[in-house]
Structure 1
Amino acid sequence: MTGFSVELRGVGVTFDRPALQGVDLTLAPGVVHGLLGRNGSGKTTLLSLLAAFRRPTRGTVLVDGEDPFENERVLEGTCFVRESGDVMDDEKVSVNLDFVEGMRPAFDRAYAEDLLDQFEVPLSTKIGSLSRGQKSAVGASTGLAARAPLTILDEVYLGMDAPSRYRFYEALLRDYVEHPRTVVLSSHLIGELDRVLEQVTILHRGGVLLTDTADSLRERGSTFTGPRAVVDDVVADLAIDVLARTELGGTSQVTVVGHLDAQVLERVRRAGLEVGPVALQDLFVHLTDGRGEPGSVPTTTGKTTAAATAAATTTTTEEVDR
């Protein structure tokens, strides 16, 4: 089993206003996908469709080639976990594990208990008495241990502190290698997920802004590091957009957006600058800064404007919530 495939064709969801509109998306099986988007972009709505929590207003949703709604086979192989999981607060952690074990045919109880031990979550404590971070650890641990062909983790690690989140990322990668499946991660902690994701989909204003491999996205930009005057001269000469700038003493680092071929990169290196990859978070913020419409990626050709340069005087560190 390498995981379930996902396909959405012309999908729209309308509440009091459109939440999703014209979504066409294919998620390959056996891949770790990142679903990124700002507040109100439609991430949780889309994930709820995959888990058959609701039906689309229009369009078609297919999971492993079938409509997931009221589909016992598909639902049995789909695990959707939100930040604290779907837990019984008035029951002990161990009782919650009993419940999940009875619902999930591939659930590995020993692995779940081992993860909870690593997160220092006592099995004999009632869920309602746990801290927010411990509740998140319960959700993350049961989500991984379920080993469902389609595993959906919607901000599941949000309540954890940084060491716990990194422990979770390491556990996810190790278990994914040993037990391949389709994993969909929704998060605003984009910088931390950079090394985890294989495929990235960005939702914007209820539509798919882009979907691409993480490596291809990183190639949409570069960082240049070196003496401030040299960096400024190179950026001006190449007529490329500056996304972010950091300065320390006489050294500058700029994040630039736009395709740079091998010849251009060699010119940059000959000027004495160090060339590095662009962070997914910086690129995400740039692509969803309000200029793009669903289905169209903002262009970044032409000289940097004065306003853009002023806005890029410090490195972008914004973490965008869902």
Structure 2
Amino acid sequence: MSGRESRQNVAGWLFVAPVVIVLGLFVLAPILMAFWVSLTDWNGQGSPFKGDVPFVGVDNYTRLFTEEGLARQDFMTSVRNNIYFVAIVVPAQTVLALGLALIVNARLLRGRTFFRAAFFFPSVTSSVAVSVVFLFVFANSGTVNGLLNLFGIDGPQWFADSRGVLHLLLGSVGLVDPEAPPDLLTGGGPFGLSWWEWLSGPSVAMMTIIALIVWTTSGTFMIMFLAALQDIPVTLEEAAMLDGAGRRQVFRHVTLPLLKPALFLVLTLGIISTWHVFDQVYVMSQGNPAKTTLTPAFLSYQTAFRSFEYGSGTAISFVLFAIIMVLTLIQRWVMRERNGRRLRHG
């Protein structure tokens, strides 16, 4: 390496040194400290780095998966709730955001600036404020139940109803009795929950939080889709229509493939945000009723800051981080594999 290259390397490190120091002090160091806490039985008193703090190793982690007890039951209940939450919110907000982007991107639409601002406004509103508004909207005598009463429907007590929507749907068609489930499903299931509990679906209370999240996040993802739509050359769509393609064919074979990078970004951000949902649960339900709105993020907070089991609470947060990383890598691999297949077939 020449002296000039060496001086350039030193200059480069000097320029990035402030950022590296800041990230190390405020990001990397806290992560390492939190990981150490997850290996201890620290109760929040004093410093977790003193010698008198009990070191338990991976016990806080194994308790979540292998040891029977309340810790595993609560954690698996929160995972079940979050699985249904992700399975509904991510597709719903993605489809809604894409639909809104297509609407406001239409050249014949008047007042496009107004509609963009109107659709995006919920995304920049305080999540706590919106959650409080939804508490009034879905109250027993709120707007939603008032509208349902106009059609002769007696609305449920939204935030006090712990029944799973899948149980209710199966019961409404007479396949099962929610009050007397089949013995085959009430037996032992994975990780301490019965199959009947795993297959409950999101509770009625969780559906209100799902509606809130979809409404408040679709505007942000609409902006991402809108930016991608405006980057698509109009000549491509016009050429496809001149060749005889209809609007649906143009969208399927021209527009949608070009939106794939934006779609990947929206799905990735959606999965990450839905797996660490906290604000809305904290304000609207506190994990109730019957723990059907409990999520891993809220359980981590509850375990650490209310039960003063900081080691267990931190372990939950690291398991949640691992779940998010694995799901993101799987999604990236799936989309890359599909791209590769299309290129090879092309």
Shorter-chain TM range is under 0.3
| Higher share of residues assigned helix | 2
Higher normalized contact order (CA 8 Å, seq sep 6+, divided by chain length): 2
Q: When the two structures are superposed, what TM-score results if normalisation uses the length of structure 1?
A: 0.26
| Higher share of residues assigned strand | 1
Q: When the two structures are superposed, what TM-score results if normalisation uses the length of structure 2?
A: 0.24
Instruction: State the structure with more CA Rg.
Output: 2
